[in-house]
Structure formats: structure tokens, C-alpha cells
Amino acid sequence: MSTGEGVRESWSTRIGFILAAVGSAVGLGNIWRFPFQVGQEGGAAFLVMYLAFVVLIGFPAMLVEFVVGRRTGLNTVGAIKEFGTARWRYLGGLFVFIGFVILSYYSVVGGWVLRYILGSGRGSYMDASAGEYFVSIASGTDALVFHAIFMAIVVAIVGLGVQRGIELSVKIMVPAIIAIFAILAGYAFTLDGAAEAYSYYLQPNLDVLINNWASIVPAAAGQAFFTLSLGMGVMITYASYLSEDENLAIDGTSIVVFNTGISILAGLIVFPILFTAGVDPETSGAGAIFISVAQALTDIPLGQVIGVLFFATVAIAAVSSAISLIEVVVSYAIDEFGMDRVPATLAIGFLIFLLGAPVTVDTVMVDLYDILAAQILLVIGALLLISLVVIFHTEEALDEIQKGVTDLGWWGYLWLWIVGVPVVIVLGVSLMLGLDTYVKFLQGPFADFLSSL
């Protein structure tokens, strides 16, 4: 990882970069957040919107981050300083802030995953109802303790600066997730509720889209950014280690394809199980994946073993994403304040732990942090970064995107135009709608929660 000084490291192999970016992208966003968003936003209508946004907005925006990173060869904050005028340093500050907020609740959910490794090993959710078990561990002391453990793991890895650790973890994790997901999806396919679930998940209903577009649009945009690790400069840092003969568009395509495939698979597991159990996907909320997988494992031969393997794999996926989040903050502290890596990581990890502690009070707190981060902060971050590139650096961006490719011809211009016009418009609209969603959340479920205290 970058310290911004000395000889810069670079990825040992081309596949190393792709794997690290996949390691950042594939995480709780695919396995936990995606099914829960689909459930809240009405099923297939959300899926279609989300897929469209991944291709039309996420992918072009990812190339923007790649271009900035490889062009400057710097960490996020340094790159923005080099590309912008003095005032743009606040954008670097915003990215660091977003990293704090996201990791603080991400770690609480990561803690749930760790708790489920133990729970599976002991078979704890096998005698209780899967729903009750989730509620019993999702908030309170258990949640706080496992949040602390998750942060401790992340801090230990990043403190050591183990770059190879990321590459290695991804090489094991991605195939493991796919293999175990395939087994679980195969099981889910045999359930009674499968047909109903597939039609809910895979057959878009235009009416649902039309009636709910104002909440689907910002949710889908937020999910696209969240899952691709965009909007706060992670991909800037990773691309800064790339060499110039790499074709950015091809690398970006592989990352997007892998990442999307894993999300879709997660839905193929969750929905048949929820429908079979008679649980309304809309009400299962943040617990969707935990409750449905636990329920499946109760029925399946070797459920305990598969459970341990499954949640351990998810934990690796979560840790490899968390690393990319904290690294943005740590590299900033090292560059800006001349801190050493170990004390910087420890201090930041502790602050993030504190910021996440309130999330363990009640699951409504997850929404409080999550909607803010995904539907508002990441969108603002992406909008500002795109403006910086499109307003001040079009020539350089075009030049950079063409490296490693013979000649992109008009594709390069098309890309810049897409990023500069439709993407900006859609993000602007999303942001407005996202703010509205957030206000409604604060006045509704969150106000109810506060008055129940």
C-alpha cells in the first residue's frame, strides 16, 4: 500500500490488481447489502435498475477513478491535490470521512458474520428459530464485542501492511464464495417457494418500477457505488500501482462482471428460502441473508460444516473490503501528518470502533449510517470527482484511458461524454431523491426508534 514516498510498489502481476480490486468490491455489499436492498425495493424492479446503473454509471465512474489513480500514481488524497486546485483538498477530506462512516457500520455487520461462524460451529441457530437467533446477536453486547474483534483483525492486517495478504486472500476467497454459493443456490432451487421467489426476483414488474421509482433510483445508484467500492477513492489508490500497458477498460470489465455475478447468486439463495419460510422479503431487512442462510443450513445435510465454511468465507470477503476502506484513511494520515503506519492504523481503528459502537444499540442504526453513506455521501463523492476530471483534465483522461490500447477512437470521447453528461444528471437526480429518502427515514422509523428509548 502506498505511503506516497519512496519507491512505489506495484502489483506483482496483472491478475494481482484485478484480484485486489475484486477483493475490495466483493464483500458485504454483495452478500448482505444487495439482497436486503432488493427485498426493500420491491424485487426484480430494483434488480433491473441496479444492473442498468452498474453498466451505465458504475463502470464509467470506475474508469474515472482508474484514470486518476494511474495518471497521478498517488494515493487518493495526493491524487486529488495534484489534479485540483487548493479548494479541492476538501474532496480528499470528504473521502476520508466517508471511509470512516462506512467502515464503522460495516464492521458491526462484519461482527455479525464472525458471530455466525461460531453459531454455525455450535449449531446455535439450529435449535432456535433463525429469525430469533439473528435478533439475539444483532444488537447488544454480543454485537459490540464482535464489532471490536472485526476491527482488531482489520487493524492487524493493515498495520502490518500486508499487501500480499490481500492478493492471497482473494485467490482463495472468490472461488470459495462461488463454490459454496452454488451449493446453496442449488439447494434453494429445490424448495417449494422457489418458483414464486424467482418471479419476484427475476421478473420485473413495470408497475412496481413506475410507482416506486423515487426510492428505487437512489437505492440502485447507491448500491452500484457501494458494491463497486466507488465514490471515495479506493479505486484511485489501487490503480495508482498499475503499469501503463494495462488496458483499463478490460480490467474494469472483469471486476464488474465478477462482482455482479456474486451479487446475483446471493439473491438466488436468499429469496427462495425466504419465500419458502413465508417471510416477506420486505420486512426481513438487514437480517435477510443471515436469517435465510441459517434457515437453509438447519435443513441441509452437513449444515453445520457448510455454515462454518460459508460464514468464514464471507468474513474473508468482508475483511478484504474493509482493508480497502481503512487504507484510504491510513494512507492519508501517513502522508498528511507524517504518522507511522502502526500507530496511525491503531488510532484510526479505535476511532472507527467508537463511531460504530452506537450501531450495536439497535438495527435501525444500521440504516441511519447506511442510507447516509450509500445514497448521499458516495454519490456526492463521485459527482465531485467526475467534475474534477471532466472540468479540468479531459485531455489527460483521454490520453490515460487509451494507454495499453492501440486506439480507442471515438469510444474514448463517448466515455467522457457519458461520464460528463448522463452520469452527472442521473447522479444529481439520485442525490436529491436520496436526501428525500433519508429525511423520510429520519422522520419515520428513526423517530419511532428514538421515542421508544
Binding residues (CB under 6 A) for ligand TRP: these are 24-25, 27-30, 102, 226-227, 229, 231-232, 234, 321, 324-325, 378
What's the CA gap between 245 and 14, in Å, rounded? 10
Dihedral sign (CA 164, 166, 171, 173): positive
Residue 257 CB, shortest distance to ligand TRP, in Å, is: 15
CB of 329 to ligand TRP, least distance (A): 11
**Please, what is the minimum distance in Å from the beta carbon of residue 349 to ligand TRP?**
16
Nearer to ligand TRP (CB atom), residue 24 or residue 437: 24
Cβ neighbourhood burial of 185 (10 Å; 0-12, 13-18, 19+): middle
Please, are residues 46 and 201 in contact by the beta-carbon 8 Å criterion? no
Dist. CA 198–CA 272, nearest whole Å = 7
Q: What share of the chain is helix, strand, coil (3-state, %, to 5)?
A: 85, 0, 15
We find the least distance from the C-beta atom of residue 58 to ligand TRP, in angstroms, to be 11
Nearer to ligand TRP, 234 or 279 (CB): 234
- Nearest approach in angstroms of CB 276 to ligand TRP is 27
Comparing CB distances to ligand TRP, the nearer of 25 and 427 is: 25
Q: Is 17 exposed, middle or buried (0-12, 13-18, 19+ CB in 10 A)?
A: buried
Q: How far apart are CA 350 and CA 121, in angstroms?
A: 29
| Region class of 80: left (phi > 0), else alpha (psi between -120 and 50), else beta | alpha
Residue in the shown chain whose Cβ atom is closest to ligand TRP: 29
In the complex with ligand TRP, the residue whose CB is nearer, 126 or 268, is: 268
Helices and strands, number each (H, E), in the chain: 25, 0
The phi and psi torsions of 152 (rounded to 5 degrees) equal -65, -40
Which residue's CB is nearer to ligand TRP, number 99 or number 420? 99
Nearer to ligand TRP, 37 or 363 (CB): 37
126 or 319: CB nearest ligand TRP: 319
CB of 29 to ligand TRP, least distance (A): 2
Cβ at position 92, least distance to ligand TRP in Å: 15
Residues 6+ apart with CB under 8 A from 253: 59
Smallest gap from residue 328 Cβ to ligand TRP (A): 8
Q: Among residues 126 and 371, whose Cβ is nearest to ligand TRP?
A: 371
Distances in whole angstroms, Cα of residue 78 to Cα of each of 74, 226, 332: 6, 23, 8
Residue closer to ligand TRP, measured from CB, 100 or 187: 100
In whole angstroms, how far apart are CA 124 and each of 120, 128, 431? 6, 7, 42
Distance between the two ends of the chain, CA-based, in angstroms? 44
**How near is the Cβ of 437 to ligand TRP at its closest, in Å?**
18
Q: Pick the closest to residue 41 from 188, 189, 204 (CA basis).
A: 204
